[in-house]
Amino acid sequence: MFFHFVLSNFSNTYLLGPAEGGNAVIIDPGVMDLPLLNIIEQNDFYVKHILVTHNHASHVNGIKTLRKIYDADVYSNMELPFKSEYTRIEDGDQLELNSLKVDVINIPGHSPDSMIFKIKNMLFTGDVLLAGEIDHDLTIHQASLLKEKINEKIFVMDDDVLVFPGHGAPSTVKTEKFFNPYLRD
C-alpha cells in the first residue's frame, strides 16, 4: 500500500505499509499533522521506520512528533538538526525494513547528505530530482555535480521506475531523461 501526501509546507511525505495494516515506513515527514495521523491510524499502521532523504526542515520537522507517538527507527546520512537518535546510512547500503528492501543511494548536489531510496520500482528522490526540474538555487559546481550524479545513478535505471520527489508531482525516469530541461546538454 502506498500513500502520497502534499502537506502544508508544500513538501511530500510518503507512507508505505502492508494492505492489512502493521509496521509502516514513512519517508521525509516534514510535518506531522492530523490528516497523516488519521491515515496511519485508519489503516492500522504502526510507524516503525523513518527514512530521511536530507536534513532540511521541510523533510524532518515531523520526526520529533512521530517519535513521541511511535518507537520508530530513524535512518539518515547526517545528524538531525535537533537532538534525536538515528542510524547512519551510507551510499550503497541495503536496508530491509519490514518486508521492504531499500537501496540507499547518495546523490550530492542539492545538499551533501542527499540520499535517494529505491524500493521495488519506486524511487524517492527528496530534492535531488523533481518532476521537470532540479533545484535552481545551486552554485555552478553544485548543479554540475548534481547533473553528473543523476546521469550516473538515476538515468541508468529502468525507464519505468516511478520518481516520487520531495516537492510536486510524481514522474518517471524516462520522462525526466527525455523532457527535464535542466538535465539536457
Answer yes or no: are the C-beta atoms of 149 and 107 closer than 8 Å: yes
> Distance between CA 142 and CA 27 in Å, rounded?
24
What dihedral do alpha carbons 17, 163, 76, 23 form, nearest 10°? Answer: 0
What does pTM read for this prediction?
0.94
* Least confident among 57-61, 91-95, 152-156: 57-61
If one counts the domains in the chain, the total is 1
pLDDT, one tens digit per residue, over 106-116 is 998 888 889 99
Tell me the sheet residues that pair with 124: 117, 164
| Strand 2-6 versus strand 22-27 pairing type | unpaired
Positive or negative torsion for Cα 45, 47, 49, 50: positive
> Confidence band (pLDDT; 50, 70, 90) for 137?
confident
Mean pLDDT of 148-163: 97
pLDDT of 158? 98
> pLDDT averaged over the chain?
91
Amino acid identity for residue 127 in this structure: D
| Strand 94-97 versus strand 100-106 pairing type | antiparallel
The CATH number of residue 124's host domain is 3.60.15.10
Structural domain of 105? 2-183
> Distance between CA 132 and CA 181 in Å, rounded?
7
Amino acid identity for residue 148 in this structure: E
pLDDT of 25? 97
Q: What is the DSSP letter of 157?
A: S
